[in-house]
Amino acid sequence: MNHTVFNPLTLPNGTILPNRLAKAAMEENMAATAHLPGEHICQLYHTWAAGGTGLLITGNVMVDHRAMTGPGGIVLEENTPIAPFKAWAKAGTQNGTKMWMQINHPGRQVYAAMGGQVLSPSDIALDMGKHSQLFATPSPMTEAEIRELIQRFVCTATRAVEAGFNGIQIHAAHGYLISQFLSPLTNKRTDQWGGSLDNRARLLYQIVDAIKQRLPKHIAVAVKLNSADFQRGGFDANDALVVVKALGHLNVDLVELSGGSYESPAMQGNTADGRTLEREAYFLKFAKEIAKQAPMPIMTTGGIMRLPVAQKVLDEGVDMVGIGRALAFSPDLPNRWKTSPDFSAFLPNIKWKDKTLVALASLAITKRQLQRMGKGKAPKSNSSPVISLIADRMRLKKLTKIYRTRYAHK
């Protein structure tokens, strides 16, 4: 049976998603005071829940305040007040919408200006060319730190359920900590956490298993995984298939396939190894091959702007369509497609030579739209990449100062 994007999807645990369209996680950096959800992020998710997307996956929520992807990030730990998270979940689960919390640890992808802990499986620093000094060299994790990390993921997951989220997504992609363990480029360990793929994936498997044991069956547990790192010698599509099959044995409800890292921003359409991605649905080629053998539903993301492309994803055998930046410019995209199937969402297309600056500017323009919607304003498609990048850098500098003062990092 051929499904349309508006057909429901039943997950292995019995959860029914109202349609096949998901808001994929984006870096929001919109936390209120003390890294809690506030009125702006609640307004943003209220807007998306009204726009017809069946599943909303939050931007990454940190499991440890000492290691953040950005100074405006949201953190959920053992002693974090739960009321702001209940308000956030309530805003995003209106109109039958499902809302999952993406939980994450950045590992070595922490800006040096932030201070705090910079951990990784090994002491391999980020290679960002002339921008490498933006990131500190990580410390290899001890056995005790790995055990603590697993418990932090479990704690954040259980508290998300307490707040009213319908599921959680473990972020094991985009070069963050779990992805660093998976990749032979960043994991040079010789103990049980390194070497063979089974060993490199051990951290992911143990986090999933520990979370599954603690959460009620009706709560969905998903994983975001790279289809490939798009770096020579890195985690590749064959590795991804092995991991996906293993996650099936752990009863994972859905795997989202993406790709890339800070070093190779494939999730924005650019790769470090020279491979050409699809103009839309960047990772469909990989996802459709993995979906043929996957024991759970597969979702893929990557620059999707048009309904025919979203439908093509389903026609190729992938179960769920992830949309990120297009929903920052057209938050009601699914509802628009129902009445105007030819409507195409806008995505910024910056033609600078420096790929790192292109990635940062694209992210800055996108975040600017999220901030506008958080204040109840409509997004703008004519935002200047230069002004957006400068404004974002200034905002992050201010937030970084607040973060460092609050936690007094040495």
Return the pLDDT at 291. 96
Contact 113, 400 (CB under 8 A): yes
d(CA 396, CA 9): 38
Token readout for 118 is 């910079």
* C-alpha to C-alpha distance for 392 and 111, rounded to whole angstroms: 14
CATH architecture of the domain formed by 9-349: Alpha-Beta Barrel (3.20)
Determine the average pLDDT of the residues in 58-83: 96
User: What is the band of 356 on the pLDDT scale with cuts at 50, 70, 90?
Assistant: confident
Residue 110 vs residues 118, 138, 405: alpha-carbon distances, Å:
6, 9, 17
- Encoded amino acid at 282, one letter: Y
Domains of the chain, by residue range, sit at 9-349
Residue 384: strand, helix, or coil: coil
pLDDT of residue 184: 93
pLDDT band at 59 (very low <50, low <70, confident <90, very high): very high
Q: How far is CA 393 from CA 14, 18, 342, 367, 368, in A?
A: 44, 38, 36, 12, 12
Does residue 276 sit in helix, strand or coil? coil
CA dihedral sign of residues 217, 240, 194, 66? negative
pLDDT for the residue 132:
83
Write the burial class of residue 348 (CB in 10 Å: 0-12 exposed, 13-18 middle, 19+ buried): buried
The predicted pLDDT at position 272 comes to 63
Quickly state the pLDDT bin for 366 (edges 50, 70, 90).
very high
Which region among 48-62, 288-302, 339-353 has the lowest average model confidence (pLDDT)?
Answer: 339-353
Distance CA 268, CA 31 (A): 23
Residue type, 321: V
> How many helices (H) does the chain have, and how many strands (E)?
13, 14
What local confidence, expressed as pLDDT, does residue 410 receive?
42
Q: Evaluate if residue 231 carries a pLDDT over 80.
A: no
Place of tokens 């992911």: 204
Residue 115 has pLDDT above 90, yes or no: no
pLDDT recorded at residue 275: 62
Three-state secondary structure readout of 179-227? HHHHCCCCCCCCCCCCCCHHHHCHHHHHHHHHHHHHCCCCCEEEEEEEC
**In the structure encoding, which two tokens stand for residue 80, read together?**
């974090």
**pLDDT at residue 407 is higher than 80:** no
**Phi, psi values for residue 244, rounded to 5°:** -60, -45
| High-pLDDT (> 70) share of the chain, % | 95
User: In whole angstroms, what is the distance from residue 132 CA to residue 146 CA?
Assistant: 26
Q: What is the pLDDT of residues 163-214, one digit of tens each?
A: 999 999 999 999 999 999 999 999 999 999 999 999 999 999 999 999 999 9
- Of 352 and 48, the one with more pLDDT: 48
Q: What are phi and psi of 23, to 5 degrees?
A: -80, 110
What band does 271 get if pLDDT is binned at 50, 70 and 90? low
Mean pLDDT of the 97-121 span = 95
Residues in CB range of 38: below 8 A, 6 or more apart: 30, 31, 32, 84
pLDDT in tens, 295-317: 999 999 888 999 999 999 999 99
State residue 276's pLDDT score.
56
Long-range contacts of the stretch 83-89 (C-beta < 8 A, 24+): 84/32, 84/36, 84/37, 84/38, 85/36, 85/37, 85/159, 85/160, 85/163, 85/164, 85/165, 86/163, 86/164, 87/37, 87/42, 88/37, 88/41, 88/42, 88/45, 88/58, 88/163, 89/163, 89/164, 89/165
Mean pLDDT of the chain: 92
At residue 16, the 3 state secondary structure works out as: strand
Cα end-to-end span (Å), the chain = 59
Cα–Cα distance between 140 and 158 in angstroms, integer?
A: 27
The predicted-structure confidence for 120-137, as pLDDT tens digits, reads as follows 999 999 888 888 888 989
Burial environment of residue 341 by CB neighbours within 10 A (0 to 12, 13 to 18, 19 or more): exposed
Over range 316-340, report the average pLDDT: 96
Average pLDDT score over residue span 14-39: 96
